[in-house]
Structure 1
Amino acid sequence: MKAFLWAAISAVMATCLASPSSAQETDRAVLEALLSGGGKGLEVTEDFAKAVPQAQLEGLVETLIAQIGPVEEIELEDGTGTVRSAGYQVPVRIALDAEGRLAGLRFGTPEPLVADLRTAVAALADLGAEVSWLVTREDAVLAAGGAAHPLAVGSAFKLGILSVLAREVRAGKTDWDRVLRLGEAHRSLPGGRLQDFPDAAPVTLHTAALLMIAESDNTATDLLLDLLGREIVAEELGIAPEVMLSTRELFALKSDPAAAHAWLDADPKERPAIAAAAALQPPDPVLASGMWLPGIEWYVPLDRLCALILPIADLPMLQLNPGPAHGLGPVAYKGGSEPGVLNFTVVLRDAEDRAVCAALTVNSPGRIDEQAATGAFRALLRRVVAQP
């Protein structure tokens, strides 16, 4: 329920955002009134009232206060700032119209306030049934838990594809402006947009790689996987080539329980043919969006993911979508998720400009509280950046 309500804050309220008011004192007064009284009696614009009815606004604020406790401090400049309680900090953005009415509001993910790296790491252990984490700085491991144990990482496996592709470009074997043609066999399910492109649409390697990373485009992923070959990508990820699935094949197996069980029970040498046969039909979007099927995924340890992302962290496609590290400075990021699977893999720089890789994977038979995981991971990142 908590994750759903926070998603509502991000999705519903974001539609109302306008330019921040230059009157910071007024912004602060409105925000203080909202957090202390739930918005009762506040003047709001017509558009805001339509998007967020009064009862919903009061409920969202009530949920926030119940989660973080009484607000003790508000920092606000040009409509953007932070709300703090004794145990949490929450990014906030507020906008008023020219008449001082509330026109837009967005609360970010609550982040627990932690005193040190040990406390930040301790908050990760209860995020799911299986949890692994890793923090490295240059050649030193600052924190690790199960970092060498392969867990399902969802779309974070795409780092293996990007790593191989970048190496071939550096070696002069191909070029970012090379054009590929989209085929029906590459067409997967969202995320992304290439699944809606026509057959034989021309796509450069750079565009496909950018979409694969920044938007987690699955069709772009399968297009690049087809070009590079499964064996070399599987080797890059450290997994057996027999279990190296395309995204379309993963969705197809999830859509067909009989095929999924056959794949899991089969001799490894028979698995590629079973997956390929299942993928002849377009995956069912509803069935494919269900809980993950243990064993049918990309299982990669965090030490491998950090080893993959660190040498290519300067690639622009890794820097477009900061994921859970939003607002924490220049970062390289790729993560992955499906119901029951969550991964964050980030490279950022600390105060002394040293490269830090921080990664988290959660596997669970039930739904993962992604908001809690995001908050805990952001708290970890802040402590890592501050770590002497």
Structure 2
Amino acid sequence: MKVFFGAALAAVVTVCLPGPAAAQEAERAVLKALLSGDTRNVEVTEEFARAVPEAQLDGLLETLRAQIGPVEEIELEGGSGILRSATYQVPVKITLDPAGRIAGLRLGAPEPLVADLRAAVAGLAGLGAEVSWLVTREGEVLAAGGAAHPLAVGSAFKLGILSVLARDVRAGKTDWDRVLRLGESHRSLPSGRLQDFPDEAPVTLHTAALLMIAESDNTATDLLLDLLGRDTVAEELEIAPEALLSTREFFALKSDPAAAQAWLDAEPQDRPAIAAEAALMPPDPAAAAARSVPGIEWYLPLERLCALLVPMAELPMLQLNPGPAYGLGPAAYKGGSEPGVLNFTVALRDAEERPLCAALTVNDPGVIDEQAATGAFRALLRRALAQP
């Protein structure tokens, strides 16, 4: 069992307590003790203790208390709910075993309590050196800042690949059950799992698309990009073909400073050959995980990301991982991140079933506080959903 401050979800053990009322009271009592710092009577299961040592749990809770202040209200139903202080609310999920010990605990990113959409927008600008945001409803812009300016968006560019693929399926040019064969040239670095599959492993289009979106599988991405063609995907993204890197090329250039500089200095028509040559060798994971290299990324405006996502929002692979929209209703999501780059792009519907898109991009040469960005973006989503 793990405690997370952010969008990831902890695995939990499902147990049965005497009844809903008794279970809820027990869960509330444990949460009150944790949040007060008085944990003398709080016990955890052995599995939870192995995953989250006591010192780690105490440190996480101390950080949370310092950030949000005293918790004034705990709303719970079935172990899930909200912790609310004077200035923040925090999604929470707790699971107790029959003996009342903590078996699972999930704490989401603290979300600032804001009065309206304008106040939510005000909390975005300080997230990084360059920040853009966009909220649309039925195509009408409700809030925007730099939404037409391309910034680095990481894996959010994969929406362009999915858009082309979904269009081809609708047109009858291909089928979701078509099988592709994994080749060495497709093998990229994680995130994902296909990089560990053997050569010539059969993968359906549906599986590749699902992994590309829900798990941001980079090898699945390059497999689909190879099938659909760089020119076609670049046109869908509204960028120049020579600016569209495969993920393997991206990691290879980041791994090799000389190749990266050569790519940046080259004329546009010469860049594909430089990237392809760099990608002949498997990328170095440690070097590829370093800070982002300005210019070597996928640069897209939020306007384009929302234009791609909204028409595809009903595709199941977009709804498996709601990202920062967890708990806010059915949502289609794709984001992206690497050191210095963060993007969230979400499509969902308000209470009147009006389609909304909300997106945020942060670029910064330093460290981006992803927890703060998640909380601020959730506040934006919540106020957008409530906008008359």
TM-score normalized by the length of structure 2: 0.95
Alignment match, 1:361 = 361
Alignment match, 1:103 = 103
Which amino acid is the alignment partner of residue 373 of structure 1?
A: A
Question: Equivalent residues in 2 for 1:335-374 (5 A)?
Answer: 335-374=335-374
- Residues 129 and 363 of structure 1 are in contact (CA less than 8 Å); yes or no, is this contact kept in structure 2? yes
1:19 aligns with 2:51: no
- Residues 38 and 57 of structure 1 are in contact (CA less than 8 Å); yes or no, is this contact kept in structure 2? no
Alignment match, 1:237 = 237
Provide, for residues 39-74 of structure 1, a one-character-per-residue CA deviation record: whole Å limited to 9, x for no partner: 233233333333333333322221111000111111
For 2:206 and 2:154, locate their aligned partners in 1 and report how far apart those are by CA, in whole Å: 22
- Residues 340 and 368 of structure 1 are in contact (CA less than 8 Å); yes or no, is this contact kept in structure 2? yes
Structure 1 window deviating more from structure 2 (202-211 vs 13-22): it is: 13-22
For 2:79 and 2:90, locate their aligned partners in 1 and report how far apart those are by CA, in whole Å: 14
For 1:177 and 1:187, locate their aligned partners in 2 and report how far apart those are by CA, in whole Å: 21
Q: Check 1:48–1:182 CA distance in 2 against 1; reply closer, same or farther (3 A cut).
A: closer
- Residues 248 and 283 of structure 2 are in contact (CA less than 8 Å); yes or no, is this contact kept in structure 1? yes
Alignment match, 1:216 = 216
- How far off is 1:101 after superposition? 2.5
- How far off is 1:27 after superposition? 1.5
1:296 aligns with 2:292: no
Question: Equivalent residues in 2 for 1:78-89 (5 A)?
Answer: 78-89=78-89
Structure 1 window deviating more from structure 2 (18-27 vs 145-154): it is: 18-27
- How far off is 1:93 after superposition? 1.6
1:178 aligns with 2:174: no
1:93 aligns with 2:93: yes
- How far off is 1:92 after superposition? 1.2
Provide, for residues 145-174 of structure 1, a one-character-per-residue CA deviation record: whole Å limited to 9, x for no partner: 000000011000000011111111111111
Q: 3-state DSSP class of the match of 1:47? A: helix
Q: Check 1:208–1:73 CA distance in 2 against 1; reply closer, same or farther (3 A cut).
A: same
For 2:16 and 2:191, locate their aligned partners in 1 and report how far apart those are by CA, in whole Å: 31
Which amino acid is the alignment partner of residue 52 of structure 1?
A: V
- How far off is 1:274 after superposition? 0.3
- How far off is 1:270 after superposition? 0.7
For 2:118 and 2:6, locate their aligned partners in 1 and report how far apart those are by CA, in whole Å: 31
1:47 aligns with 2:59: no
TM-score normalized by the length of structure 1: 0.95
- Residues 135 and 356 of structure 2 are in contact (CA less than 8 Å); yes or no, is this contact kept in structure 1? yes
Question: Equivalent residues in 2 for 1:1-388 (5 A)?
Answer: 7=4, 14=10, 17-19=13-15, 21=17, 22=20, 23=22, 24-388=24-388
Q: Check 1:304–1:9 CA distance in 2 against 1; reply closer, same or farther (3 A cut).
A: closer
Structure 1 window deviating more from structure 2 (179-188 vs 15-24): it is: 15-24
Cα RMSD, aligned residues only: 1.8
- Residues 132 and 144 of structure 1 are in contact (CA less than 8 Å); yes or no, is this contact kept in structure 2? yes
For 1:243 and 1:227, locate their aligned partners in 2 and report how far apart those are by CA, in whole Å: 18
Q: Check 1:332–1:10 CA distance in 2 against 1; reply closer, same or farther (3 A cut).
A: closer
For 1:192 and 1:240, locate their aligned partners in 2 and report how far apart those are by CA, in whole Å: 27
For 1:286 and 1:278, locate their aligned partners in 2 and report how far apart those are by CA, in whole Å: 16
Aligned length: 383
- How far off is 1:293 after superposition? 0.4
Q: Check 1:35–1:17 CA distance in 2 against 1; reply closer, same or farther (3 A cut).
A: farther
Q: Which runs of 5+ in 1 are unaligned?
A: none
Q: Check 1:9–1:57 CA distance in 2 against 1; reply closer, same or farther (3 A cut).
A: farther
For 2:106 and 2:345, locate their aligned partners in 1 and report how far apart those are by CA, in whole Å: 25
Which amino acid is the alignment partner of residue 114 of structure 2?
A: V
Which amino acid is the alignment partner of residue 97 of structure 2?
A: D
Which amino acid is the alignment partner of residue 67 of structure 2?
A: Q
- Residues 9 and 60 of structure 1 are in contact (CA less than 8 Å); yes or no, is this contact kept in structure 2? no
For 2:59 and 2:84, locate their aligned partners in 1 and report how far apart those are by CA, in whole Å: 19
- Residues 6 and 109 of structure 2 are in contact (CA less than 8 Å); yes or no, is this contact kept in structure 1? no
Provide, for residues 11-46 of structure 1, a one-character-per-residue CA deviation record: whole Å limited to 9, x for no partner: 8x9356443744211221121122113423323333
- Residues 5 and 108 of structure 2 are in contact (CA less than 8 Å); yes or no, is this contact kept in structure 1? no
For 2:12 and 2:51, locate their aligned partners in 1 and report how far apart those are by CA, in whole Å: 7
For 1:59 and 1:106, locate their aligned partners in 2 and report how far apart those are by CA, in whole Å: 15
For 1:9 and 1:378, locate their aligned partners in 2 and report how far apart those are by CA, in whole Å: 11
Provide, for residues 119-138 of structure 1, a one-character-per-residue CA deviation record: whole Å limited to 9, x for no partner: 00110101111000000000
Which amino acid is the alignment partner of residue 201 of structure 1?
A: A
- Residues 3 and 105 of structure 2 are in contact (CA less than 8 Å); yes or no, is this contact kept in structure 1? no
Q: 3-state DSSP class of the match of 2:175? A: coil
Q: 3-state DSSP class of the match of 2:125? A: coil
For 1:69 and 1:323, locate their aligned partners in 2 and report how far apart those are by CA, in whole Å: 26
Which amino acid is the alignment partner of residue 59 of structure 2?
A: G
Provide, for residues 322-364 of structure 1, a one-character-per-residue CA deviation record: whole Å limited to 9, x for no partner: 0110111111111111110111110000111000000001111
